[in-house]
Amino acid sequence: MTTTSEKVSQQLTRQVSKRVSQSVFDGSPLRVVLLVDVYDGAQQQFLEAYEQLCNQVAKVPGHISDQLCQSIENPSQWLITSEWESAPPFLAWVNSEEHVQMVQPMHSCIRDTRSLRFHVVREMGRGLAKVDPAERHLQMSPRIGDGVIRHALTFTVKPGSEPEVAKILANYDSPETHVDETTRLVRTSLFMIGNRVVRAIEVRGDLLQALRHVARQPEVRAVEEAINPYLEQERDLSCDESARVFFTRAALPAVHHVSTDELHEGERHALYYPARPGCGMQLAEALARLDEDAAEDPGTPVLRSTVFQRDDAVVRLVDVRPGAGVEAAVPRPGALAPLKSLLDGDTAGMELITDRRSPDA
C-alpha cells in the first residue's frame, strides 16, 4: 500500500522530470516590481522624477497601472509596481532607447535598484474571487523551471577588428564561479557573427548579484578594458553612468526556453535571426512556438533551446545531441515558412568563441 508521503514523493519526482518550459509569451498579465534605494535627502527629487516618468509611461501601449510606495521603516527605500497587459509590450518598452532616455533623470538620486517581473497566475479580492482564470488569460498551470536563469549581452565591434576581438574573448581567465552561498555561475558561452558579439550567461541564484560579481572580477575587467578600443558604442568603465547605459543597451533577455527530459550534455550552437524592422518580438514568439512543438517529438535532436530577443536582434541558443551538428538546430524548411515574412535576411550560424562551464555545474 502506498502511503501519503510516498504519493507526494512520486508526484514531486514526476514534476521534476517534466520538460522545462519558461516563456514570456503566455498572454498572462505582467506584474513588475522595482525596488529602489534612494540617496538620503533625495526623496523629493526622486518623487518629481517618478511623476514625470509616470506621465510618459502611461502612454506606452500595454501599460495598465503604476503604484509608488515609500517604506514606513526607511524613507530611502521605495517600491514601484506596475501592471501590463502581458510581458511582450513591457519588454519592448524597457529594452528600447526611449526607456533609456526616460529613466535618465532618476539615476542621479538612486543608489541601487532591483527589478522583478512576474506573470499573474491567480487573483483574489473584491470582484476577483469568482473570475475564471481563462477570462483573464491567466496561466492555467504553473510552469516548471530548472533553477537556471538565462541572460545574454550583445554588442558590435568596429568592422575589421573581429579577429582581434575574438582572440581577446577566447583567451581570458575564467572568474570565480561561486558568488555567494546561494548564487553561482553555471555557464558562459561567447559567439560572434560578423561584427556582433553575443555572450550568453547561465546562473543559479540571483542574476543581478552574479552580474555584479562578474563585473568586479579582475580577469573580466581586463578583458572588458582590452576590447574597449574596438567597440562601436564607446564606454568608460570607470564611469558608473557610462557603464550602466552600455550594459542596459547591450542586454539581450531570454524570452523563451524549453528543454526535454534528458539531462546529459550536448553540442552547443547559436543561430542569428535578423528580423525585419519592428518584427523582432513576433519572430521570437514564432521561434518559441516551433521549439515547443519540436519538444513534443521524442526523437528530436534538440535537448535545449533558448530564444533571446531585443529590438530586431533575435538569437537562438541550442544544445543538440552529440554528433548531430548545427544542422539539427535548424527547423525543417516547412516549419520555417511562417518565419519568412518576419526575416530580413538569411538565418546564420554563429561562430563559437568560447564555452565555459562551472566545474560543479
CATH number at residue 170: 3.30.70.100
Q: Are residues 172 and 38 in the same domain?
A: no
CA distance 226 to 237: 11
Q: Report the number of distinct structural domains present in the chain.
A: 2
Question: Is residue 7's pLDDT more than 70?
Answer: no
Residues 119 and 159 in one domain: no
Are 252 and 321 in a shared domain? yes
Q: pLDDT by residue (tens digit) across 87-140?
A: 999 999 999 888 888 888 888 899 989 999 999 887 776 555 555 656 666 777
Mean pLDDT, residues 15-42 taken together: 85
Same domain, 249 and 336: yes
Per-residue pLDDT tens digits for 155-213: 999 999 999 999 999 988 888 899 888 999 999 999 999 999 999 999 999 988 888 88
Q: Kindly state the greatest CA–CA separation across the chain.
A: 71
pLDDT band at 1 (very low <50, low <70, confident <90, very high): very low
Average pLDDT over every residue of 334-348: 84
Q: Do 174 and 60 fall within a single domain?
A: no
Secondary-structure percent of the chain, ordered helix, strand, coil, rounded to 5: 35, 30, 35
Question: Is residue 21 domain-resident?
Answer: no
| Packed helices 280-295 and 87-94: angle between N→C axes, nearest 10 degrees | 130
Mean pLDDT (whole number) for 50-70 = 92
Confirm whether 71 is domain-assigned: yes
Instruction: Judge whether residue 6 has pLDDT over 60.
Output: no
* Statement: the pTM of the whole predicted model exceeds 0.85: yes
Terminal Cα-to-Cα distance of the chain (whole angstroms):
38
Say yes or no: 70 and 169 in one domain.
no
Q: Give me the pLDDT at residue 127, please.
A: 59
Do 37 and 116 have their domain in common?
Answer: yes
pLDDT digit string, tens, across residues 237-285: 777 777 788 888 899 999 999 998 666 778 999 999 999 999 999 999 9
Residues 77 and 154 grouped into a single domain = no
Flag whether 18 is in a domain: no
Residue 197 in any domain: the answer is: yes
Residues near 335 by Cβ (< 8 Å), separated by ≥ 6? 290, 293
Task: Tell me: do 74 and 221 sit in the same domain.
Answer: no
pLDDT tens digit sequence for 279-303: 999 999 999 999 988 888 888 889 9
* Residue that terminates a domain, selected from 60, 90, 125: 125
Contact 200, 191 (CB under 8 A): yes
Range of the domain at 341: 148-357
**Helices marked H in the chain:** 4-17, 43-57, 87-94, 97-102, 162-170, 207-216, 218-227, 240-250, 280-295, 333-336
The pLDDT score that the predictor gives to residue 141 is: 75
